Amino acid sequence: MKIYQLKTVQKLPVSLETAWDFFSNPQNLTKITPAWLNFQIMSDLPQKMRAGMIISYTVKPLLNIPTTWVTEIAHVNEPFYFVDEQRFGPYKMWHHEHIFRKDKDGLVLMEDIVSYVVPFGILGRIMHRLVISKKIKEIFDYRTEVLNKLFPVDKPHRTATRNVGEPQVI
């Protein structure tokens, strides 16, 4: 079983509280997800996430085929991090850490660490190399662009680790 990992770090010119308020509201996920994914939240959600919360959505990641994706907010440490994990969906395993901290300039460093396993053995690994890794990178690149527009600075800041090319096998 190969575990792939994508890491991104983005600087946001906001307070930790502002970043937390935005990212802890599950409705904002729609704002930072590309339209081609056809992302639709199916659950009734509160304004703020909590540990143990289940979120159900549909996505159309490949060939416009709808897929149900169910995640659980597994861990929350406000305003520093939360973790969502797939309970049912397109991956064999999906673990997404969202980490927020202040840098020396007072900007928020938002780090995403996504660890995942694709299904279907060797066929899945081939699909990962040809399509899946590029789509995941595209989703996070889109997110970076949207966040730079929502939280503008004089010059957009982005530091990426392992967000260039294919996600790494760990």
| Residue 19 belongs to domain with CATH number | 3.30.530.20
Cβ–Cβ < 8 Å for 10, 147:
yes
pLDDT tens track, the chain, 170 positions: 899 999 999 999 999 999 999 999 998 999 999 999 999 999 998 888 999 999 999 999 878 889 999 999 999 999 999 999 999 999 999 999 999 999 888 889 999 999 999 999 999 999 999 999 999 999 999 999 999 999 987 655 554 444 444 566 66
Which of these, 117, 118, 100, 127, lies nearest to 20 by C-alpha position? 100
Cβ–Cβ < 8 Å for 159, 10:
yes
The whole domain housing 36 covers 4-169
Compute the distance between CA of residue 144 and CA of residue 20 in angstroms, rounded to an integer: 16
Domain count, the chain: 1
DSSP 69: E
Phi, psi values for residue 42, rounded to 5°: -100, -20
pTM: 0.89
